[in-house]
Amino acid sequence: MMPKSKKQRQLFYVVPYSIWLILFVFAPLVLLLFQSLTTSNGDFTLHNYAVYFASGTYLKMTFNSVWYAFLITLITLLISYPTAYLLNQLKQKQFWLLLVILPTWINLLLKTYAFVGLLSKTGTVNNFIGLLGIAPQQLLFSDWSFLLVAAYIEIPFMILPIFNSLAEINPRLEQASHDLGANKWQTLRRVILPLSMPGIKAGIQAVFIPSLSLFMITRLIGGNRVITLGTAIEEHFLVTQNWRLGSTIGVILIVAMVIIMILTRDRVRKSSRKRG
């Protein structure tokens, strides 16, 4: 039996918090699901899902979105793992890590805007390759520019969890593997890599899910060539005003997210990311 004062205290703490939970966690998700499952009269229907799964365009868009998210995750992983590994061997590693995190504190829009300037037809990159005698290229509004900018934005979110998992590895394990006759490559592959798997999984989770839902970069850099699930949702909600189909795609995005989280789940769960 709880004493009365403690009950009062708990009540005082929980009231605003539970209002938040009900109003901003439960209600929006329920409403999203409700929108996707009803007609404009409020009758239950699976029509929206039928439209989604019957249409080749939507399925192709979903496949493309997953494919691009996969590419972005792969590129960031390939760049980030060596970076995290090498950072870990530096003396002032906390300071260097702070330098990796610093760009994530800068407004996402401003970073994207920088690339609009860098990659535009009269921009710096084109000027630079012009010096080498190459004619100006259309760099902006291409699949490559989209991948480049998305990977640039996501790299710190991949480095951070990998760095943390590498830092937790006992250095004696590396020495032991060396003593037992493993060369550097074998040590990396058989000892370091498996032990840093939780960090890699956390990084994949932190990069893949936002990559599925990016919509600002697809518009500013991808020039609407790349349509992700996020772009499709934004289009349906704010442009064509077809909320029911937009909600349907939203539900599918949530399902995709849950699948990824289950696939990358780890027994020891600890890591969160700053949203971008």
Partner 1 sequence: MSKKFRWANIYLWFVFILLYLPIFFLIVYSFNSGSVMQGWSGFSLKHYNELFSDTRILEILVNTFLIALLSSLLASIIGTGGALYIYNLKHTLSKNVFLSLNNILLVSPDVIIGASFLILFTVMGFALGFTSVLLSHIAFSIPIVVLMVLPRLQEMNQSLVAAAKDLGANNWQMLSRVILPVISPGILAGFFMAFTYSLDDFAVTFFVTGNGFTTLSVEVYSRARQGVSLEINALSALMFMVSLLLVLAYYVISTRAVRSKKRGTRLVLPATEGL
* Residue ranges in 67-106 that form contacts with partner 1 under rule CB under 8 A: 79, 82-83, 86-87, 89-90, 96, 98-100, 102-103, 105-106
* CA 209 – CA 205 distance, rounded (Å): 6
Question: In this chain, which of 70, 237, 264, 271 binds partner 1, going by CB under 8 A?
Answer: 237
Q: Which residue has the tokens 């365009």?
A: 57
Nearer to partner 1, 41 or 122 (CB): 122
The count of C-alpha atoms lying within 13 angstroms of the C-alpha of 250, restricted to the half-sphere facing its C-beta, is 21
Interaction residues for partner 1, span 147-166 (CB under 8 A):
152, 155-156
Interaction residues for partner 1, span 166-195 (CB under 8 A):
none
60 binds partner 1, rule: CB under 8 A: no
Q: Which residue has the tokens 């590693």?
A: 93
* CA 124 – CA 138 distance, rounded (Å): 13
* Smallest distance, partner 1 to C-beta of residue 264, A: 12
Give the long-range contacts of residues 267-270, CB within 8 A, separation 24 or more. Answer: 268/198
Binding-site string for partner 1 from residue 21 to residue 40, where x marks contact by CB under 8 A and - marks none: x-xxx-xxx-xx--x-----
* Smallest distance, partner 1 to C-beta of residue 274, A: 7
* Smallest distance, partner 1 to C-beta of residue 133, A: 18
C-alpha distances in Å from residue 187, one per residue of 88, 190, 200? 16, 5, 17
